[in-house]
Amino acid sequence: MTRAKAPLVVCVDDEPVVLSTIARCLKREPFEVRATGSPSEALGWIAVDDVAVLVSDYDMPEMTGAQLAGHARRIRPETVRILLTGKRTLETAIDGINQGEIFRFLEKPFDPDVLSQVVHAAIERNRELLAATGDRERRARREALRAALESEYPGISDVNRQDDELYELPADPWDAAAELGLTALTTALDR
């Protein structure tokens, strides 16, 4: 039996002491934690790896946390974004929401237990977003297969029946499709 891969949490802060505190708070949790002082390095990780959660400081010299969250959202929309800020202002909140669709704001100094709870909630949100993405992809694939079937056999998806008529379906409709010579479609379904 294969063990599920631990969710990946990326932490970004330009202050080394704060960054090590964030990482230390999360190291005890059941997820992989990567920490960096560079927003560019974090974006590289997000582009390459399945990052579940991004925890970022708001005020950094290379780019703001809101800008980082915005870039992360464009690269990997299902990565849930959390901003830490020492200056909780309306402007900071609006910037974070508009640029990065922030999941939560935490004020510095933060309570380690609250940070842990928020990251756990963000991981759950990431799972929900991944499931929704998978559902959309399956629906799109199903629709493409239906369209392919319809183009090969016009009218096959139209079912007209009288209320008193019964239809017998094969136990496995894809086996029946294979018998009809629709192997390209059954092969596509196995992908």
Tell me the pLDDT tens digit for each residue of 35-84.
999 999 999 999 999 999 999 998 899 999 989 999 999 999 999 999 99
> With 60 as the cut, is the pLDDT of residue 187 above it?
no
Q: Does 97 have pLDDT greater than 80?
A: no
Query: Could you tell me which residue, 165 or 127, shows the higher pLDDT?
Result: 127
Question: What is the rounded distance in angstroms from the CA atom of residue 99 to the CA atom of residue 101?
Answer: 6
pTM for the model: 0.69
**Nearest Cα to 75, choosing from 100, 55, 105, 56?**
100
Using CB atoms within 10 Å of the CB of residue 46, give its burial: 0 to 12 exposed, 13 to 18 middle, 19+ buried. Answer: buried
In a domain, 120, yes or no: yes
15-23: average pLDDT: 94
**Would you say 118 and 138 are in contact if contact means Cβ atoms under 8 Å apart?**
no
Give residue 96's domain range.
Answer: 8-133
Q: How many domains does the chain have?
A: 1
**Residue 148 reports pLDDT greater than 60:** yes
Residue 62 lies in a domain: yes
Backbone angles phi, psi at 45, to 5 degrees: -65, -40
Residues 6+ apart with CB under 8 A from 64: 58, 95, 99
List C-alpha distances in Å: 164 to 43, 98, 161, 167: 61, 56, 8, 10
CATH of the domain at 52: 3.40.50.2300
Can you tell me which residue has the tokens 């800008």? 67
Where is pLDDT greater, at 145 or 56? 56
Beta-strand pair 104-107/80-85: parallel
Distance CA 182, CA 190 (A): 13
Q: Does any domain span residue 113?
A: yes
Confidence of residue 150 (pLDDT cuts 50, 70, 90): confident
Q: Mean pLDDT for the chain?
A: 80
Residue 82 — φ and ψ, nearest 5°?
-120, 135
